[in-house]
């Protein structure tokens, strides 16, 4: 059974910032854990016409973290950060990508995101995004929306791979 820390009573009374972070971390964990118990072949299995695979989803999520919490905050280019130029490319799997390596890179990206935002307020403007200055609160909401969508994708893919067994079940 999947744990939902965001529905704990302490979170109900927490600050808005703490609530955002609880929801983000819950979705980060769910996406990370969507690879647990799979073989390398299962994680790479292509079940849809797009590039989307479970391993690719988690790899893309690391890209998302770096775009929104490195590029947007540090104003460094994607080349400087070492990430693909486009979201589509972030789903590309290399021969050396494994469940362990992709999960590790995702954990590192999430930890870096937490460090990058630790001293910011929800109203602080992030200047490094192509859309222009955006408040951290908007970036949190956008990232939460994207992670929630990808968690849904991951649940469906896992169910297909495991013949009806969902991650939540």
Query: Residue 105 and residue 126: Cα distance in Å, rounded?
Result: 23
Q: What are 83-131's pLDDT values in tens digits?
A: 999 999 999 999 999 999 999 999 999 999 999 999 999 999 999 999 9
Residue with tokens 């994207």: 146
Count Cβ atoms below 10 Å from residue 59 Cβ, excluding itself. 22
Q: What is the predicted pLDDT for the residue at 165?
A: 59
Q: What is the predicted pLDDT for the residue at 128?
A: 96
Q: What is the predicted pLDDT for the residue at 7?
A: 76
For residues 112 and 124, the answer to whether their CB atoms sit within 8 Å is no
Going by the DSSP 8-state scheme, the letter that residue 16 receives in this structure is: H
1 has pLDDT over 50: no
SS (H, E, C) 82-151: CCCCCCHHHHCCCCCCCHHHHHHHHHHHHHHHHHHHCCCCCCCEECCCCCCCEEHHHHHHHHHHHHHHHH
Higher-confidence position of 25 and 169:
25
Average pLDDT, the chain: 93
Q: What percent of the chain has pLDDT over 90?
A: 86
* Among 10-24, 65-79, 87-101, the least confident range: 10-24
User: Which is it for the CA torsion 4, 13, 145, 85, positive or negative?
Assistant: negative
pLDDT band at 8 (very low <50, low <70, confident <90, very high): confident
For residues 33 and 16, the answer to whether their CB atoms sit within 8 Å is no
149 has pLDDT over 60: yes
Q: Give me 5's structure tokens.
A: 């820390």
Q: What percent of the chain has pLDDT over 70?
A: 95
Global confidence as pTM: 0.91
């Amino acid at each position: 059974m999947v744990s939902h820390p965001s529905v704990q009573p302490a979170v109900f009374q927490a600050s808005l910032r703490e609530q955002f972070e609880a929801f983000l971390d819950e979705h980060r964990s769910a996406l990370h854990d969507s690879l647990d118990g799979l073989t390398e072949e299962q994680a790479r299995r292509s079940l849809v016409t797009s590039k989307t695979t479970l391993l690719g989803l988690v790899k893309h999520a690391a890209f998302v973290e770096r775009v929104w919490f490195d590029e947007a905050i540090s104003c460094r280019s994607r080349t400087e950060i070492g990430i693909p130029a486009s979201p589509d490319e972030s789903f590309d799997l290399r021969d050396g990508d494994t469940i362990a390596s992709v999960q590790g890179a995702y954990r590192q990206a999430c930890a870096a995101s937490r460090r990058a935002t630790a001293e910011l307020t929800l109203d602080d403007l992030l200047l490094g995004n192509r859309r222009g200055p955006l408040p951290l609160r908007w970036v949190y909401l956008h990232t939460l929306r994207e992670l929630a969508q990808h968690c849904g994708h991951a649940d469906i893919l896992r169910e297909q791979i495991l013949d009806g067994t969902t991650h939540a079940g």
